[in-house]
Structure 1
Amino acid sequence: MNQPFAHTILLSDLDGTLIPRGGCVSEGNRAAVERFVAGGGRFGVATGRTPEAAGGYVSGLPIGAPSVFFNGAMLYDWAEKRVLAERPLPGGDAWPRFAERCLAKFPEACIEVYTATDCNIVSNPENDDPRLPHEYYRYRHVALEEVSDIAQTPWLKFFVRDTPEHLRQLEREAAEAGIPELAHGFYSEVEYYEFVAQGTSKGAMLEAIRTLPEYQGWRIIALGDERNDVEMLRNADIGICAGGARAEVRAAADVVGCPVEDDLVAWVLDHVLADEAVARH
């Protein structure tokens, strides 16, 4: 049986890469993923979302590779519904203190604390991110005190949605609070700023996949479109960005593909992997 994609993982970001923002997996991309898997490859996702949140978008896709969630704080076996690795935020009580500071300094922000099982919104419900009702996961509004026992329930990700101006101020507040010593802060979109543990990223978890016995010697092709995908694109054997990606993401990629609306996964199979197959023969 012809297996042109044997020993190859295709690891894809979701929003802006596999799916248009606010959209769903196209029939073209769905068919391309199925063709890739039928050809011996394994498909996985790499996202800032939780497994539950991603589930509604990727339902029915043949996900067989370890997948990355919480922007690198969790590596997850989708088929077995099993956590392979977690990287919680270090620093103990520093995080509830910083969250309290953010609530006071940014009264219009949506502030979310992610644990392994929950999205906990600790800010005023009036500030909720408009995306929340359209997502495929449960979230709950709680007082900060309910999630402050980090020793009992570790935080995997701390998230703030606010205006770009306020987020620039948030970066300064974080520096004053000593947060950069504990965490990697980054923009996942212009109004989204997130914190995960130092050394945690989609790219770091890509390297963790390489250490798994089952995937020794496998090639990893990564797809992304945003700044939180840069390290993953650089660490991949082939990093491919969507055509609409910003300049720094394009610079990190080996290949600039088509826009997400034009079925990027199908484009990769037809223009990158097909060319390789021709070259081998």
Structure 2
Amino acid sequence: MTILDAVTTPDWRPRLIALDIDGTIARMGENEIAPAVRAAIGRAVGHGTHVVLSTGRSLMGTRTILDSLGLENATALCSNGAVWWDTTSASVVKCTAFDVGVVMDRLLGLLPGAVYGAEVTGVGNLMYGRFPEGNLWGELREVGLEEFVAEPTPRLVVRWLDHTPEEMAFRLMDVELPGADWTVDHTIAWLTAGPVGVTKGAELEELRVRLGVEASETLAIGDGHNDVEMLRWAAHGVAMGQAPATVREAADEVVGSVFEDGAAGVLDRFFPG
């Protein structure tokens, strides 16, 4: 039986569910999860399914959601998979970082006036320039360029104030960042860069093998450009209704938006109340 055959059987139910946070189970940048979404996640966990938060958020931003959901014996993939957090031991079990200095050399000339944040895992962020309040989680410390680039980081974020996502994407068209992969958000001019080869899809595949889950037993739900690899990885990839066209095209199904609790509708189908 192929993966497609397995997913289309009436009794198919995922054993590993990867959930993006912002724009999927919570509104962008918020920490509140709608009751219907929360209940649906709880039913999936109650059936013994592995629920994995797979997010571009830093660890500090992800832990708030983990605590809210009360996920136990789980792994969260933060910073697009560069940081793995184990809820059982309350510790980072994997962290992949890259040299932010060579990336900054390229970006500083391309995005004049942008502000930069480098994750300090489990602590917060260093900032080169000041972000608007509420953009970053944890302890924030504004530093000079020399200190900013001194240590590798698993996650570099760039906010180009007073510009649109389209302007940012156009400015960076065909640009390669040494040692890093990157995406631009579809809602604001916000770039996220991580170690080359580290994507939600690649890290989820490694986790799937560790958990002993069949490839045909995987479900993923997301809404952003950084979710494309994850949606393609899953046996059944679901895009949220407000996702841009490139993300919807990567999915097997498109559901209601985050404002309509679209993720709950998907999960309710497999784990009815």
Per the normalisation by structure 1, the TM-score is 0.79
Question: Which ranges of structure 2 fall in alignment gaps of 5 or more residues?
Answer: 1-10
Q: Which residue of 2 is the match for residue 83 of structure 1?
A: 92
Q: Distance in 1 between matches of 2:96 and 2:102?
A: 20
Question: Which ranges of structure 1 fall in alignment gaps of 5 or more residues?
Answer: 276-281
Q: Deviations over 1:11-69 (max 9, x none)?
A: 11011100122442011111111111112212221111122112223433132432211
**1:146 and 2:147 matched:** yes
Kindly report the root-mean-square deviation, in angstroms, between the aligned alpha carbons of the 2 structures. 2.6
Structure 1 97/217 Cα, relative in aligned 2: closer, same or farther at 3 Å?
closer
**1:42 and 2:65 matched:** no
Q: Which residue of 1 is the match for residue 218 of structure 2?
A: 220
Task: State the secondary structure of the residue aligned to 1:211.
Answer: helix
Structure 1 22/85 Cα, relative in aligned 2: closer, same or farther at 3 Å?
closer
5 Å-filtered alignment, 1:117-156, equals 117=122, 118-123=124-129, 125=130, 128-132=131-135, 136-150=137-151, 154-156=152-154
Conserved 8 A contact 1:110-1:129: no
Task: State the secondary structure of the residue aligned to 1:60.
Answer: helix
Q: CA deviation at 1:209?
A: 0.6
5 Å-filtered alignment, 1:81-230, equals 81-89=90-98, 92=99, 95-99=100-104, 102-103=107-108, 106-117=111-122, 118-123=124-129, 125=130, 128-132=131-135, 136-150=137-151, 154-162=152-160, 163=163, 164=165, 165-166=167-168, 168-170=170-172, 174-175=175-176, 179=177, 181-189=178-186, 190-212=188-210, 214-217=211-214, 219-230=217-228
**1:55 and 2:63 matched:** yes
Q: Distance in 2 between matches of 1:230 and 1:97?
A: 26
Conserved 8 A contact 2:16-2:51: yes
Q: Distance in 1 between matches of 2:115 and 2:251?
A: 32
Conserved 8 A contact 2:168-2:189: no
Q: Which residue of 2 is the match for residue 279 of structure 1?
A: none
Q: Distance in 1 between matches of 2:112 and 2:171?
A: 13
Q: CA deviation at 1:222?
A: 0.9
- Match of residue 28, structure 2, among 1, 21, 29: 21
Conserved 8 A contact 1:34-1:62: no
Count of matched residue pairs:
253
Amino acid paired to 1:109? A
Give the percent of matched residue pairs that are identical in Structure 1 and Structure 2: 28
Structure 1 246/98 Cα, relative in aligned 2: closer, same or farther at 3 Å?
closer
Q: Deviations over 1:180-213 (max 9, x none)?
A: x42212113341112212111111111111221x
Per the normalisation by structure 2, the TM-score is 0.82
Q: CA deviation at 1:121?
A: 0.6
Q: CA deviation at 1:230?
A: 0.5
